């Protein structure tokens, strides 16, 4: 017995006529009659009663038709589901974000993904440092990472197993406690921060932003005075508001407003990239669709 036998039987049972069923199935009537007889012989029961004008279902045929319809509906549903998953319209995807993207990009991105891919189960992990995201990509905990590029000094090692797409380049700003001596400035120079206590991102002593801030300070001719290392951007901003130090952060962090602190532009041409990272061998249609939505959302957010 094959699925086609069930479809043949359903057509005959619903049309109650071999000729009309044959037209519906785009086949000749004699082969259809033979296939139905083979089905009945295999089951060992008559499913249909035939006259010269019509076909009727036997009691066994009535019961069998109900089961056949359920089976074929399940088969069709399975096929449709497989096609939707294969085309990226259904499935599950986990996305990780660094702190600045968590507050500036993630809210609008999550809304856009829900609107444009409603059949997909999206999960989000915010406030992930870049090395943690790289590790999560490699172990399969996340499928798409929004992170800062990791330098050669990072613990990420060879990154040839990852695909990187630069989304945008972001300016730096300085987060200052209210009343700080530099708060009245329109712009803050790196030289102004030489003797300041700095609050930086760091995961176990290393993060992309830790390296970036260190490079900025050394480029200005001094070693940074790091007083506090934090894992989350919200904690960093809170520490600044508590006057525990100042921080150099990507401009989108200014979307996170906490009472007791302010942001000032950094007078430095340096930029920091926001990158979308995936596993290099991940060619799923769902990931491709998600990346298209992400790129559009980044363009809209400027």
Domain residue spans of the chain: 3-86, 91-169+274-301, 172-270
Q: Which CATH code for domain 172-270? A: 3.40.190.10
pLDDT of residue 157: 66
Kindly report the pTM of this predicted structure: 0.73
Name the architecture of domain 3-86. Orthogonal Bundle (1.10)
pLDDT of residue 203: 60
pLDDT of residue 86: 77
pLDDT of residue 150: 82
Q: Shortest CA distance to 269 belongs to which of 210, 198, 214, 220?
A: 220
pLDDT of residue 156: 58
Q: Which residues contact 89 (CB under 8 A, 6 or more apart)?
A: 117, 119, 120, 286, 289
Which stretches in the chain have pLDDT values below 70?
A: 151-157, 203-205, 302
pLDDT of residue 158: 78
Is residue 117 within 8 A of residue 89, CB to CB? The reply is yes
pLDDT of residue 257: 87
Dihedral Cα 150, 209, 234, 110, nearest 10 deg: -40
Domain 91-169+274-301 matches domain 172-270 at the CATH topology level? yes
pLDDT of residue 300: 76
Name the architecture of domain 91-169+274-301. 3-Layer(aba) Sandwich (3.40)
In terms of DSSP bridges, do strands 91-97 and 261-265 run parallel, antiparallel, or are they unpaired? unpaired
Distances (CA, A) of 119 to 88, 115, 295: 9, 9, 20
236-267 burial code (b ≥16 CB/10 A, e <16): bbbbbbeeebbbbbbbbbbebeeeebbbbebe
């Amino acid at each position: 017995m094959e699925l086609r036998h069930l479809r043949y039987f359903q057509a005959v049972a619903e049309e109650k006529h071999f000729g009309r069923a044959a037209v519906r199935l785009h086949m000749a009537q004699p082969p259809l009659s033979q296939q139905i007889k083979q089905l009945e012989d295999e089951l060992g029961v008559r499913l249909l009663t035939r006259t010269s004008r019509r076909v009727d279902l036997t009691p066994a045929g009535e019961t069998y038709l109900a089961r056949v319809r359920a089976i074929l509906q399940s088969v069709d549903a399975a096929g449709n589901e497989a096609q939707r998953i294969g085309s990226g319209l259904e499935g599950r995807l986990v996305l990780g974000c660094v702190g600045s993207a968590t507050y500036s990009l993630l809210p609008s991105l999550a809304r856009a993904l829900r609107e444009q891919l409603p059949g997909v189960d999206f999960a989000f992990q915010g406030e992930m440092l870049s090395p943690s995201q790289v590790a999560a990509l490699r172990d399969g905990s996340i499928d798409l990472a929004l992170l800062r590029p990791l330098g050669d000094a990072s613990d990420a090692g060879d990154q040839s197993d990852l695909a990187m797409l630069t989304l945008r380049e972001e300016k730096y700003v300085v987060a200052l406690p209210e009343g700080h001596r530099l708060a009245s400035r329109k712009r803050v120079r790196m030289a102004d921060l030489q003797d300041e206590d700095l609050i930086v991102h760091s995961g176990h002593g290393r993060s992309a932003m830790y390296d970036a801030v260190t490079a900025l300070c050394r480029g200005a001719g001094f070693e940074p005075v790091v007083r506090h290392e934090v894992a989350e951007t919200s904690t960093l901003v809170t520490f600044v508001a508590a006057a525990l130090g100042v921080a150099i952060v990507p401009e989108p962090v200014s979307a996170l407003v906490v009472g007791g602190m302010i942001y000032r532009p950094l007078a430095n041409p340096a930029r920091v990239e926001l990158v979308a990272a995936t596993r290099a061998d991940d060619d799923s249609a769902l990931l491709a669709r998600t990346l298209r939505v992400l790129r559009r959302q980044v363009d809209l957010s400027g």
